[in-house]
Structure 1
């Protein structure tokens, strides 16, 4: 799609493409994305068309889509069918493997796969998921999706693979799942080692977010490689000043899925991160509507935060408490740290915005789709298909783009 000399990769459990976008920005070419969620696949297709049009010096056609001048089907029609079909909307299972292999084989032709990337859905490994499940996720079939990942390694024999997941994978079933993954990968002909740092943090990649992830990297046994070194560096930027300051101020329920012109020039961070990347507008800067009760809690939460304290739900005025159990999730309302970096953005942001309250009290709302995407370091021209809720879910599940690019740069050195 973007030149024969670029290393080729397959993205499994691809989500909306955060990991993939980082690899593309690092100079890799995707040959296939496999993802079960339709909205995420539509997002991947739209982004794949963007990259194709950009490679043909026709990026203005994509800009027309963002401006609402053409619809999605028209946009997709500007790219070869192979670009659309490279996104495979299938759940990876015993029943679907042959079909997925056939589609990838058709895309590949006689080329060799250099890298396989991706991470199986993480709920089965997450500490929160296990705490909510009476059986501690022991029977969850997602615990065993790594076996399918290994099937792709056996078939396509990439030089290197990247397996991404939540820190909970280290302790799931007392480490048995991690041991099983390592053993299966070694049997498939790959070597790996436990990294010195058991997980990487997005903030070390200039992402304005405290987000820990386990990144397993493996390589063909005949290659003399080792796990790369990743530097630790605390970002010297702030959410309000450096990430949000050029976006229009909104109240709850305001904003638009369409055009959102910038209010100010790009900050140094927005330029460095390439979140602002050439257009004079973004999209999907839209805030949820809230009831008066929630808005009063948001106001109190920001006041507490500005005074150096986190709001405790059980200590709210009685008239504002709507949940009978005040002892569980006492931090159900949480403010994004405007004077530093954000706490982890997770898929639950699709359910409500209470855990991601905007730090500017005058706006009194939860963060918008675009603000969440920026915290995940997605470029401002990245468009998330589906409803507002679907967009939030895709963003919360994604790997931050800058983190993915940093990992991809290390993989490129290894290759």
Structure 2
């Protein structure tokens, strides 16, 4: 009987975060993660831990490079005794003349997001993160992968740093680099991940760049990818109930208490990793209970923005131009899990009124489709942030399978 040798594609993950994209590619077993680049320390620590514990990559501490991607020449050649990033041999040495098949990643999205532009006095026009795609493309040009995957928020389609649409900047640079992307990003590249088994309304732009010399009919191939290949992996919409209802309930306690140096207002989650309640004041718990009971009863008095703003003023004595609260609906996908979740969870209130709380790190991870054996090892704030910034692994796994058909 003839042995069948499975070809593995070499992958480089940049702006890797805690590994949402690479997790999906690892699940497919058709890809070999050669290296990952990320500059934030907690994300690097979590990614190393995951690659080591789950995927048995013993040299993960060397494959996951903590460095500033804008310092591209040093990233290629290596550096020594940097006060922040230490020393590393660099990507050239790590790749060791291996051909690179795929580069995956998405620059930080705050500068492209509508929320980011609203919060910033200058509409993020001068934010350095608008131009990180240039560093991304410097790496693409250096290693000439067969294709690349570029993920970002829909806000990038309307962002105009310096007055020029960012899509125009990106498209021009990509074409000059010898790659081609779909002509109409708005029509083809906006993906609603709730259509792919992610129990969350999460729209993202997924840009596939094909090397022109390998794909002479690139537009035709890309249209087929977006219209036929990727949609094959759609599945029925998953709900909040399906995602988190089996997790141990965390109920308010009569008296606040200290455990492990932290103050708690709720019971603890037993042995389930990362399923620890946030501390909530009695006032906040009362608000959460009112809002969840309103939905449970079917009265639905607090479902409009105005009624939510009015309740906020009534309970806190403050006013707000935007409503602060949102209760997850059991029988619908969650609203988007954002990085902002590390600051507060007021827009991600648990739907069980008896629990009167916001969601835990593990619940956020479930809604982002991280497996329960993915242990987040940083502070709760860092964990929420990296989960919110990640690509849901269930979607990235389907994306990896679809990309395989292009390779």
Decide: shared fold, TM above 0.5. Answer: yes
C-alpha distance after superposition, 1:132-179 (max 9, x if no partner): 112111111111101000100111100000000000000001761111
Counterpart CA distance in 1 for 2:45 and 2:269 is 16
Contact 2:141–2:177 (8 Å) recurs in 1 = yes
Are 1:310 and 2:286 matched, yes or no? no
The runs of 5 or more residues in structure 2 that have no matched partner are 79-89, 253-263
Which among 22, 26, 29 is matched to residue 20 of structure 1? 22
TM-score by length of 2: 0.83
Give the alignment of 1:262-341 within 5 angstroms: 283-306=273-296, 307=298, 308=300, 309-310=302-303, 312-316=307-311, 319-323=314-318, 325-326=319-320, 328-330=321-323, 332-341=324-333
- Residue 100 of structure 1, CA deviation: 4.6
1:387-402 pair list within 5 angstroms:
387-402=379-394
Counterpart for residue 85 of structure 1: 62
2:240 counterpart of 1:239: yes
- How far apart are the structure 1 equivalents of 2:374 and 2:276? 15
Cα distance, 1:322 vs. partner?
Answer: 4.3
How much does 1:257 deviate? 8.4
Offset of residue 52 of structure 1: 4.2
Tell me the residue number matched to 1:197: 188
Residue 248 to residue 222, structure 1, CA distance change in 2 (3 Å): same
Q: Which residue of 1 aligns with 2:93?
A: 106
Change in CA separation of 1:251 and 1:179 when aligned onto 2, cut-off 3 Å: same
Are 2:45 and 1:42 equivalent residues in the alignment?
Answer: yes
The whole-number CA distance in structure 2 between the counterparts of 1:31 and 1:257 is 37
Q: Are the aligned partners of 1:347 and 1:393 in contact in 2 as well (CA < 8 Å)?
A: yes
Which residue in 1 is equivalent to 2:255?
A: none
Offset of residue 90 of structure 1: 1.2
Q: Write out per-residue CA displacement over residues 351-391 of structure 1, whole angstroms, 9 at most, x where no aligned residue.
A: 01111100011111111110100000001110112101110
The CA deviation at 1:314 is: 2.4
Q: Residues 118-142 of structure 1, C-alpha deviation per residue, up to 9 Å, x if partnerless?
A: 0100000011111111211111111
Q: Could you say what secondary structure the match of 2:248 adopts?
A: coil
Matches within 5 A, 1:248-259: 248-251=248-251, 253=264, 254=266, 259=271
Q: What's the offset of the Cα at 1:259?
A: 2.7
Quote the residue 1:163 is aligned against.
150
Is residue 172 of structure 1 aligned with residue 159 of structure 2?
yes
> What does 1:336-347 align with in structure 2 at a 5 Å threshold?
336-347=328-339
1:146 aligns with 133
Paired with 2:108 and 2:310, the residues of 1 have a C-alpha distance of 36
Deviation sequence 1:17-58 (CA, Å, 0-9, x none): 1111011112212111111110000000001102443x7xxx
Shift of 1:231: 2.1
Counterpart CA distance in 1 for 2:73 and 2:269 is 36
- In the aligned structure 2, how far is the partner of 1:310 from the partner of 1:389? 28
Q: Distance in 2 between matches of 1:236 and 1:12?
A: 30
Distance 1:23 1:101 in 2: 26
Q: Distance in 1 between matches of 2:68 and 2:74?
A: 12
Aligned in 2, Cα 1:7/1:120: closer, same or farther, shift over 3 Å?
A: same
- SS of residue paired to 1:316: helix
CA distance in 1, matches of 2:166, 2:147: 21
Provide the secondary structure at the position in 2 that maps to 1:40: helix
The separation in 1 between residues aligned to 2:312 and 2:361, in whole angstroms, is: 30
- In the superposition, the TM-score normalised over structure 1's length comes to 0.82
Q: Does structure 2 conserve the Cα–Cα contact (< 8 Å) formed by 1:12 and 1:117? A: yes
Aligned equivalents of 1:190 and 1:287: distance in 2?
A: 47
2:366 equivalent among 364, 369, 374:
374
SS of the residue 2:188 aligns to:
coil
Residue-pair matches, total: 360
What is the DSSP-based 3-state SS (H/G/I as helix, E as strand, rest coil) of the residue aligned with 1:298?
helix
Q: Which residue of 2 aligns with 1:68?
A: none
User: More displaced, 313-322 or 101-110?
Assistant: 313-322
**Partners of 1:313 and 1:321 within 8 A in 2:** no
